[in-house]
Amino acid sequence: MRTVLISLGAALALAACGGEPETPVANEPAPETAEAPETAPPTPAIADTGGGRVGTMNLMCGGESFRVAFLDTHAAIVSEDGTQTIELPMLPAGATSEPGVAVYSNGMQQFAKSGGGDTPTVIRYAKARMAWQDCAIAQN
């Protein structure tokens, strides 16, 4: 009996307010808000020779972290905030070059990349005249 009286009282209160409670319609789109959701700043596109986007590798080399994309003609180092890219041209192979090792350098920084495909990729880094340091490739 109490349940009936409570339900009747609720119905009368709704009628006094001018109608039934609003129920959402399944096909009705959600209202748009004026604020855009917060997103991370976009990473600049690093185009390969075919015009596509090339992903970067996250590297840790001697206590320094880098985001680097290795391309056919150069290596592109992306800044931490993603707004700048430093290009290191690939050096031509010389008489004293190690076979199968690509070296990218701008005279101040250099990366050496070997392997890939069926063999493990090995990346080394040096700044100015310092000795080569092995880099750890972050696994995502």
| Tens digits of residue pLDDT in 95-116 | 888 888 999 999 999 999 998 8
| Distances from the Cα of 128 to the Cα of 88, 92, 132, angstroms | 13, 19, 10
Of the pLDDT bands very low, low, confident and very high (cuts 50, 70, 90), residue 7 is low
Q: What is the pLDDT of residue 116?
A: 80
Given a contact cutoff of 8 angstroms between Cβ atoms, the answer to whether 132 and 126 are in contact is yes
Three-state SS letters, the chain: CHHHHHHHHHHHHHHHHCCCCCCCCCCCCCCCCCCCCCCCCCCCCCECCCCCECCCEEEEECCEEEEEEECCCEEEEECCCCCCEEEEEECCCCCCCCCCEEEEECCCEEEEEEEECCEEEEEEEEECCCCCEEEEECCC
> Average pLDDT for residues 10-22, to the nearest whole number?
52
Domain ranges of the chain: 57-137
pTM beyond 0.75: the answer is no
Check if the beta carbon of residue 13 is closer than 8 Å to that of residue 19: no
> Measured between alpha carbons, how far apart are the two ends of the chain, in Å?
63
